[in-house]
Amino acid sequence: MKVSKEKVRENRMRIVETASELFRVRGYDGVGVAELMSAAGLTHGGFYKHFGSKADLMAEAMSCGFTRSAESTVGVSREKFVEYYLSRQHRDDMGNGCVMSALGADTARLSESIKATFAAGVENQLTILANENCAESGTRAELIDTIAHLVGALVLSRACPDDSALADEILDVCRTRLLNQDTRKD
C-alpha cells in the first residue's frame, strides 16, 4: 500500500520529534535506530527511507529541539527566562529542556556538520534573547555570559544525584547571582 506524501511528512516529523526528546534524555549514543523507530510507532526498516544516516537525524533532531526552545522564550523577560531555566522543573524535564545543556558535551565529540547545526541553534537563541525579550540584558557578550552560566549551572545540577542538596543549591546560587546582576546594573 502506497503511503501519501502527507503521511510520509507526518512520519518523518514524528521520528524527528521523538529523536529530539530521546537524544536529550539519553544522549546520541544512548538511543539506537530500532528503539527510536519503535518509540515513534514505526518499523525499524523505514528509517532509511527518511534519513541517510543516524547523523542526518541527529542534526535535524537537534535543530527541532533548538526551535522548540526558541519558541518557548519569545516574549519572556530575562528574569522569567533565568527563573525557569534554573528551576527543578526544567532540570528534571531533560527531554523537553534545553538542547545546549542536554547535548553540548555529546556534540563536542561529533562531526563538524553537527557542530555547525549546534552553533546555528546557539546563534538563533542569542538573537531571540537580544531582539525579542531580553534586550535589557545588554551586549552580545553579556548574553553569551548569561547563557554560559545558565547551561553550566544546569549541567552541574543534573550531574548530581536527583535528591542531592547540592543539585538544588547550584540552581539556587546561580539563579540568585544572575538575577542580582540585573539589580547591580541599575
- Domain extent, residue 10, equals 5-185
* Single-letter amino acid, residue 171: L
- Please give the distance of CA 178 from its chain centroid, rounded to a whole number: 20
Confidence of residue 137 (pLDDT cuts 50, 70, 90): low
Task: Please give the tally of structural domains in the chain.
Answer: 1
What is the chain's percent helix, strand, coil content, to nearest 5?
80, 0, 20
User: Grid coordinates standing for 3?
Assistant: 503511503
| CATH label of the domain that carries residue 14 | 1.10.357.10
**Residues 31-54 pLDDT 10s:** 999 999 999 999 988 899 999 999
Q: What is the pLDDT of residue 182?
A: 59
Confidence of residue 4 (pLDDT cuts 50, 70, 90): confident
Assess contact for 26 and 105: CB atoms under 8 A: no
Q: What is the C-alpha radius of gyration for the chain, rounded to an integer number of angstroms?
A: 18
Whole-structure pTM value = 0.88
Buried b (16+ CB within 10 A) or exposed e, 163-186: eeeebeebbeebbeebeebeeeee
